[in-house]
Copies of this chain bind each other. A is one copy, B any other.
Amino acid sequence: MKKYSFKNDYSEGCHPNILQALIKTNLAPQNGYGYDDYSEEARKLIKNKINDQNADIHFVSGGTQANLLVISSVLRPHESTISAETGHIFTNETGAIEATGHKIHGIVTADGKLKPEHIQSVLDSHTNKPHQVKQKLVYLSNSTEIGTIYQKQELKELYEFCQANNLYLFLDGARLGQALTSEINDLTLEDVANFTDVFYIGGTKNGALLGEAIVITNDNLKEDFAFQVKQKGAMLAKGRLLGIQFLELMKNDLYFDLAKHSNVQAMKIKSAFQNRGFQFLSDTFTNQIFPILINSQIEKLSGKFDFYVWKKMDEDNSAIRLITSWATSDEVVEGFLKEIELL
């Protein structure tokens, strides 16, 4: 029998509601390229949730695609993006942004989160015009790639800083559900829409087969976005596949229920480690946790579960990364808790 994998939150297929909707709608003829009825309806649900009927919403297949589309659409050739060094665009997208012609300034942060002073420091070191790139967009992830989240006040301050400095703020929401349902979160989806210029709602890592919903709220960024989607190969002929999924996820807040489930499962495991006195690489409240274990303990655990060894702390200890998902069952978690007891 296969070991259960805590390696990521996209190991399984999708939530059963989505499969049922695919079956039910399968033979209904629809327009292509995102102009189908389901996509339209899903857009309406999202617009209602963010309380902005003028938002532009585009469904695309994945996170790297969403990131490169937004950034290449927004920036002129000499303009650049600011990101944490842990940011997905900076380190894990095979240079996708640079491939569209733009520099990313990677910022070293304590917790994967950008602060106004980080951005200010980049601005301060790029005053030699026109010999240096011009910063025009700030990229952040919520939850971040290392499981932390932004508080409302933090996001608001970043947005105001960006507005004051003629910068756009773009939020990568590949794990936005997990952020917004974290026990320490105080942001709503509407807040996210209000305090950014463009963001996306990640489906792939929260119960969809694939799909991210790009939401553009700043009018300056809306024009001709669909041309970019097509040009970058991100426009599905059967856009219905994305529409149907977001329709199911947005209905009755299934999206948030799934994200919350993944968080809760992670927090159970976190508590178990804490109760046993383990330390963590960072203090997270979403579906990613990074406990520090003795190497022999890691070896023992890895006999029964799959996960990544994330960072070597010293000769004897390393942090591991555990990710739970919408599909991580209580049985699996209980089985894992028992193993923790035995460490």
A residues lining the B interface (CB < 8 Å): 2, 4-5, 8, 10-14, 16, 19, 22-23, 25-33, 60-69, 72-73, 76-78, 80, 91-96, 98-104, 128-134, 204-205, 209-210, 224, 226-238, 240-241, 327
CB-CB under 8 A from A103, the residues of chain B are: 95, 98, 104
* A233 in contact with B19 (CB, 8 Å): no
* B102 in contact with A10 (CB, 8 Å): no
A193 to chain B, nearest CB (A): 23
Could you name 24 residue pairs across A and B whose Cβ atoms are closer than 8 Å?
A12-B27, A13-B238, A16-B26, A62-B233, A64-B230, A67-B233, A68-B232, A68-B233, A76-B224, A77-B95, A77-B99, A77-B100, A77-B231, A80-B98, A93-B131, A94-B132, A95-B133, A98-B98, A98-B133, A101-B101, A129-B227, A130-B224, A210-B241, A233-B234
Residue of B nearest to A209 (CB): B241
A233 to B72, CA, bound (A): 13
- Choice from B102, B130, B205 contacting A237 with Cβ under 8 Å: B205
A97 to chain B, nearest CB (A): 8
A258 to chain B, nearest CB (A): 14
Residue of B nearest to A241 (CB): B209
A41 to B14, CA, bound (A): 21
